[in-house]
Structure 1
Amino acid sequence: MPTSTFDYLNEELERLRKEGMYRLPTVWTSASGPWMETGGRKLLQLSSNNYLGFTGHPDIQAAAIEAINRYGAGSGSVRTITGTLDIHDELERELADFKGTEAALVFQSGFTTNQGALSSLLGPDELVISDELNHASIIDGIRLTKAARAIYPHKDMDRLEQLLKENGGRKRTFIVTDGVFSMDGDIAPLPAIVELAEAYGAYVYVDDAHASGVLGRNGKGSTDHFNLHGRVHVQVGTLSKAVGVVGGYVAGADVLKRFLVHKGRPFLFSTSHPPAVAAACLAAIRLLRKSQPLIDRLWDNATFFRTRLQEEGFDTGGSETPIIPVLIGQPDQTADFSRQLMEEGIYAQGIVYPTVAMDKGRVRCIVTAAHTKDDLSFAVEKIVAVGKRTGVLKG
């Protein structure tokens, strides 16, 4: 094969590098936690989704080890052949009970959950209306369908209602929203969305990836947070963030689960979770039921950190949750800010275009329950120092 075959890829990578959008994964040599090691250095971690510190919880680790000893390393098949073990079934029943729904179906990842559910539910007879800042997995899931589609400006309920009125005579309309928006850390106006859906006969689909384990009683999610039980048709959650393991799920009516078992392509054509993963997720959901003090600590830490940053003069956007962006600007400025933070002992990843608007680059900080106030004070001190040095903070 000629060595020049992929030169055009190098050209694109070079463009990304010049514009501050080139980034390879950092390799870590320690477990996920508030402090992590890479390249022989220990850094304060402000980019992890491990909201409750569950990745290292001894009960979850013990459940995974026990499952390996009982079932082996893998499940051996897709779910619809021999890949549904009793531990998978038990996890789904526990999830449904936790969420207060008739049933739940687990997918291999949060991303494939949205792909599988949306591509199954949306056909040429449907209209889907999506918030402009919804996660990439929602966008890609919608792209896989032949449904009519419309996008409303972020949390703009007037425009959403206008689109519902103009539904073009479609048989069914789905309103799709994140529960917590992953780049800005703000919460969807779910009560208003539900009221509009009920007024116009639409279905409500909520992706609670960053609300699972964070919002609601014991982390039940945004539906519980707003006391909207029975009024949200499709609840998507993740097992990869606050739950601390990996996977995603759909919670809702039993008929929805049975439909997705037959139609959800990622579910149908992917080997099921290793038994250790299913057992670890099950242990984590059971821990959530008694983890309200830990969730309270998470929110106390988030309020402390956000308030300190705002007092120093940083723009944290519309953050209402433990996701706290520090808005910087252009991609190259953002990349430089993140790099300098790393030199100061802080790992806070820069988020730039095309994930966010070109001029809305930010260092996205995520606070966890495992952080101490000393950790967060140290972080504020270093972010202020870099802010002054780079001119992000004036004066």
Structure 2
Amino acid sequence: MKIKDIPQKLADIRREDRFRAVHDLRMITASRGVDRSGKEYIVFNSNDYLGMTHEKEVEEAARNAVIYGTGSGGARLTSGAVFELSDLEKEIARFKHKEDAVIFNTGYMTNLGVLYALAGPGDVIFSDELNHASIVDGCRISRAAGKVYFHSDMGALEKLLEETPCQGQRFIVTDGVFSMDGDVADLPGLVKLKEKYDAFLIVDDAHATGVIGNTGRGTAEYYHMEGIDLQVGTLSKSLGAEGGFAAADRTITDYLRNCSRPFIFSTSISAVTGATALAALKLLEENPEKYMGALRRNTKYMKEGLTKAGISFLPGDTSIIPIVMGREEAAMEYAARCKERGILLSAIRPPSVPKGTSRIRLTVTAAHTRAELDKALEVMIDEIQGTRPVSPT
């Protein structure tokens, strides 16, 4: 595409109801935000699953750490590293039952950094078709051959593993919880195939950490099993901060520190961010029932309310509730009407989801009050006429 073609490309995007724009919002609690006009909203499009962004212990940790500066000043390998990041890596490794962990600047950059460093020419990456964009882009820049298998279809994956020649290393990479559908990867099936075909299994637990498993440890704990070679995660969802991590054997993490360009050449995140994530992780470890129990009760309450009203949604064991509308304009109009009445919902359209499956992506958090859930149900049920969701398939 030439630069002169951009106006027409934007016009096409607008015509197809796929144009996106930034709307400013300031969060005043973990579940409420205000726009620049002062209008207040109940927020159901946040990934702050446990409400950690406004926990007093987490805020206090940030205030205490700011005395060490608002930024880090440089890349960790050249300028040194704030203590909080090394402490956080040790705690993540312990939490994830791995030898070590490496902090990256974002969850997106973590997937790019891991796949760029570990995979290359002669290798083959087998990737679920609904994997996050960061995994897709990581596969592209790795220079390894890429094979995409039908979503959670272990038969299709095995067929690809059998038929695809590989001179180097086979990698299987998947989301743990798929962010647009809210379902959990088939870890038992994946582990069986990775062992049979000598593959290296990478699971992105961005939407699983703090959400599934008895104590929030994610996909492995959800299935009560091991077998994941490297776990990717984010600090920006259940841990209420910013950044990402990769947890694995120390040999792998040492290699990432030495060979992953996104790690080597990025100015590291600040002491404030590291302290924030560390405080949130410790709160989760100390009292998983307080946070995960609230999240699960709120999710159950919302799902029961939607079901009682006849509003269909995709099934799953997470707090992501996808309500498939079908047409892009239907999802956009519904979200706009709910916003007008003070409820913020995400209207998800292509290319984030396949054409014809545009949806409302409702995310419940542990911070939502019963009154906020009731208000959301009232508005959503009132506004559903004329945009009846399609039945999940």
Range class of TM-score, shorter chain: over 0.9
Q: Secondary structure at the match of 1:235?
A: strand
Quick one: which amino acid aligns to residue 122 of structure 1?
Answer: A
Of 70, 73, 76, the residue aligned with 1:76 is 73
Alignment-mate amino acid for residue 241 of structure 2: V
Which SS does the other structure have where 1:387 is aligned? coil
Q: 1:30 to 1:87 in 2, by over 3 A?
A: closer
Distance (Å, rounded) in 1 between the aligned partners of 2:97 and 2:390: 46
Equivalent in 248, 253, 273 of residue 249 of structure 2: 253
> Hey, what does 2:48 align to over in structure 1?
50
Give the structure 2 partner of residue 29 of structure 1.
Answer: 26
1:124 counterpart (113, 121, 124) = 121
Q: Give the corresponding residue for 2:185.
A: 188
Specify the alignment match of 1:150 in structure 2. 147
User: Percent identity, aligned pairs only?
Assistant: 37
Q: Contact 2:325–2:388 (CA<8 Å) still a contact in 1?
A: no
Letter in 2 for 1:188: A
The reply on whether 1:300 has 2:275 as its aligned counterpart is: no
> After TM superposition, where is structure 1 displaced by more than 6 Å over at least 4 residues in a row?
none
Residue 59 (structure 2) pairs with residue 61 (structure 1): yes
**Separation of aligned partners in 2, 1:239 and 1:40:** 29
TM normalised by structure 2 equals 0.95
CA distance in 2, matches of 1:348, 1:198: 41
Rate the CA distance shift 1:328–1:200 in 2: closer, same or farther, 3 A: same
Query: What pairs with 1:99-178 in structure 2 (closer than 5 Å)?
Result: 99-178=96-175
CA shift for structure 1 position 393 = 8.5
Distance 1:255 1:215, change over 3 A: same
How is 1:209-228 mapped onto 2 (pairs within 5 angstroms)? Answer: 209-228=206-225
RMSD: 1.7
Distance 2:42 2:86 in 1: 38
Residue 363 (structure 1) aligns with: 360
- Provide the rounded CA distance (Å) in 1 between the counterparts of 2:88 and 2:95: 10
For 2:125 and 2:5, the matched residues in 1 are separated by: 37
Please state how far the C-alpha of 1:375 moved relative to its aligned partner.
1.5
Residue 174 of structure 1 and its aligned partner are, at CA, apart by: 0.8
- Which of 316, 321, 328 matches 1:331? 328
Quick one: distance in 2 between partners of 1:133 and 1:82? 38
Q: Give the Å deviation of 1:113.
A: 0.1
Give the gaps of 5 or more residues in structure 2: none
Distance change in 2, residues 1:146/1:29 (3 Å): closer
Following superposition, the deviation at residue 236 of structure 1 comes to: 0.5
1:98 to 76, 95, 99: 95
Larger deviation: 338-347 or 27-36?
A: 27-36
Deviation at residue 391 of structure 1 after TM alignment: 4.8
Q: Which moved more, 1:60-69 or 1:261-270?
A: 60-69
1:238 aligns with 2:238: no
* 2:272 matched residue in structure 1: 276
Q: CA deviation at 1:239?
A: 0.2
Q: 1:282 to 1:29 in 2, by over 3 A?
A: closer
1:319 to partner: Cα distance: 3.0
Between the aligned partners of 1:377 and 1:31, the Cα distance in structure 2 is 20
Amino acid of the residue matched to residue 104 of structure 1?
A
Number of paired residues? Answer: 388
Q: Which moved more, 1:373-382 or 1:292-301?
A: 373-382
Contact 1:314 1:393 in 2 (8 A): no
Counterpart code for 2:345: A
Distance in 2 between residues matched to 1:360 and 1:45, nearest whole Å: 23
Say which SS state the counterpart of residue 219 (structure 1) adopts.
coil
CA distance in 1, matches of 2:225, 2:58: 30
- Aligned equivalents of 2:154, 2:3: Cα separation in 1: 46
SS in 2 for 1:61: helix
